[in-house]
Amino acid sequence: MSKESQVEVLGVRFDNLTMREAVDAALALIAEHRCTYAATPNPEIVMLSRKDASLSSALKEASLVIADGVGIVYGAKILGTPLKARLPGIDFAGCLMQELAKTNGRVFLFGAKPGIAELAAQTLTATHPGLSVCGTHNGYFSDDAEIIAEINAAKPDLLLVCLGAPKQELWMQANAGKLNAGLMIGLGGSLDVFAGTVRRAPESWCKLGLEWLYRLIKEPRRIGRMRKLPVFLIAVIRCRLLERRRLRGNSDAR
Q: Which residues of 132-156 are buried (b: 16+ CB within 10 A; e: fewer)?
A: bbbbbbbbeeeeeeebeeebeebeb
Instruction: Could you list the beta-strand ranges (E) of the chain.
Output: 6-9, 12-15, 36-39, 64-65, 106-111, 132-137, 158-162, 183-186
Cβ–Cβ < 8 Å for 70, 82: no
Of 162, 179, 185, 195, the one binding ligand UDP (CB under 6 A) is: 162
Which residue sits closest to ligand UDP, CB atoms considered? 139
**Region of 24-32, 77-85, 159-167, 236-244 interacting with ligand UDP (CB under 6 A):** 159-167
Pairwise CA distance, residues 91 & 88, whole Å: 5
Query: How does strand 106-111 pair with strand 158-162?
Result: parallel
C-alpha 97, offset from chain centre: 15
The residue within the footprint of ligand UDP, chosen from 41, 75, 166, 189 (CB under 6 A), is: 189
User: Which is closer to ligand UDP, CB of 55 or CB of 112?
Assistant: 112
Nearer to ligand UDP, 27 or 41 (CB): 41
Per CB under 6 A, the segment of 3-11, 119-127, 174-182, 187-195 that binds ligand UDP is: 187-195
- Per CB under 6 A, 163 contacts ligand UDP: yes
Question: Residue 171 CB, nearest distance to ligand UDP (Å)?
Answer: 10
Is residue 188 part of the contact set for ligand UDP (CB under 6 A)?
Answer: yes
Minimum distance of ligand UDP from residue 190's CB (angstroms): 7
Q: Which of 69, 105, 139, 166 binds ligand UDP (CB under 6 A)?
A: 139
Judged by CB under 6 A, does residue 164 bind ligand UDP?
A: yes
Amino acid at 254: R
Structural contact between residues 136 and 115, judged by C-beta atoms closer than 8 angstroms: no
113/178 with CB nearer ligand UDP: 113
